[in-house]
Amino acid sequence: MNSPSPSPSPLPRAFRLIVTGGGTGGHTYPALTAIRALRERLAGEGRSLDVLWIGTPDGLEARVAPAEGIAFTTVATGKIRRSSNPLKMLSPANAKDMARVPLGVAQARKFIAEFRPDVVLATGGYVAVPAGLGARLCRRPLVLHEQTVRLGLANRKLAGSAARIAVSSESTVALLPESVRGAAVVTGNPVRPEVLSGHPDKAVEALGLVAFDRRLPTVYVTGGAQGSQQINGVVRDALPWLLERANVVHQCGPANVAELRRHVGGLPAELANRYYLAGFVGPELPDVLALADVVISRSGAGTLAELTALGKPAVFVPLATSAGNEQAHNARHLAEAGAAVALLGEVTEESLRDAVGPLLTDPGRRDAMAERARAHGRPDAADRLVDVILSAVYG
């Protein structure tokens, strides 16, 4: 008599993750990179990942999550309009928005109770507050990730409820309340792997930069996807001087191309040939970054993570209106370590020339700054954050 066939082994249970955070790329892309890294880690163990993203209907995450095939839902939330004047914080708009938070917490609690995640990951932004509080009410481990040197407002509110607080810089730990420092782990800020795999010759081919003088350094100028009027203006004014010393790839924002192109029309052909103007740099970005010897840019957390992981000398022009003046703190942190130059306060053509000039004329100075930048970079940040997420569940 034949013995019965053994029953097939049950498949390992899927790991369940709720992600909350967004509004901007600075909160959204680190979360997305962490999801991808966690999915890859689990797949190597024969396990799958189920994800629910709790965001806002008009934030970047509302487009990014569905495009990645991630289930997405929204909760009510409120935006605090910050001001150095405490009386202005008591505005009717702030009061109205804050009244929405309890509803958002109730909604998030319902989603978390139904989804039953192993862990909740919050990467900042206003939506993280109700979802993070919902995790606490449902007794689910909460992992915070902070992209900037100082804890953002949402993460400050949630720090006391977190099982782990993943921070991007060693210097952040000392800025945390003493009561939560034991939960802090330095992971760095996740960087998309493709950013680290560029090749300079591919940028030359893809963008048709055949007239560039490869004996000169190349400067990449960017103000983010929409461009920066401030950066565009000072670079425009300094362009003749800059092009005598370097090639320039300038990502100026789609709305600014026509005005800058008119300005370039007056340059001598020899200089104009060393200038590439683009409204937006898309898939070519890793190759453009590989080509660049110096970068002029804003100092958002994502930009810093990418440039330090690559070891790129940079001149930062912080966005003065960034929440909590975060960009200035980010830039100053690297500048004090000799890993970048920070242009704080009023930025003029002269101050830009003073900042960029020594980097263009002295390769040794560029190399030294690149090394110091690289020392602050964490190209393995996504894997470190996955370690933290798993440790919050399994210890």
pLDDT at residue 89, rounded to an integer: 47
Structural domain 193-376, CATH architecture: 3-Layer(aba) Sandwich (3.40)
The whole-angstrom separation of Cα 39 and Cα 347 is: 44
Same fold, 15-190+380-394 and 193-376: yes
In the numeric block, which tokens belong to residue 107? Answer: 């909604």
Q: What local confidence, expressed as pLDDT, does residue 284 receive?
A: 96
Q: What is the pLDDT of residue 224?
A: 84
According to DSSP, residue 191 is labeled -
Q: Residue 260 belongs to what H/E stretch?
A: helix 257-264
Give me the pLDDT at residue 96, please: 58
Contacts of 7 (CB under 8 A, 6+ apart): none
Question: What pLDDT, on the 0 to 100 scale, is given for residue 83?
Answer: 47
Both structure tokens of 146 = 């902070």
DSSP string, 16-49: EEEEE--SSHHHHHHHHHHHHHHHHHHHHTT--E
CATH match of 15-190+380-394 with 3.40.50.2000: yes
pLDDT in tens, 6-62: 555 455 789 999 999 988 888 999 999 999 999 999 999 999 999 999 999 999 999
Map out the domains of the chain as residue ranges: 15-190+380-394, 193-376
Nearest-angstrom CA–CA distance, 376 and 132: 29
User: How far is it, in rounded angstroms, from Cα 380 to Cα 149?
Assistant: 18
pLDDT on residue 101: 84
Question: Residues, the chain, total?
Answer: 395
Coil, strand or helix at 366: helix
Mean pLDDT, consecutive 10-residue stretches, the chain (395 aa), reads: 53 89 90 97 96 94 96 85 50 60 94 98 94 97 94 91 95 92 96 95 97 97 89 96 98 94 91 96 96 96 96 95 81 96 94 98 98 96 98 93
Q: What is the DSSP letter of 182?
A: G
pLDDT value of residue 87: 52
User: What per-residue confidence (pLDDT) applies to 139?
Assistant: 97
What pLDDT, on a 0 to 100 scale, did the predictor assign at position 19? 98
Specify which residues 145 forms β-bridges with.
Answer: 166
Give dist(CA 76, CA 299) in Å, integer.
Answer: 30
Q: What three-state secondary structure class fits 160?
A: helix
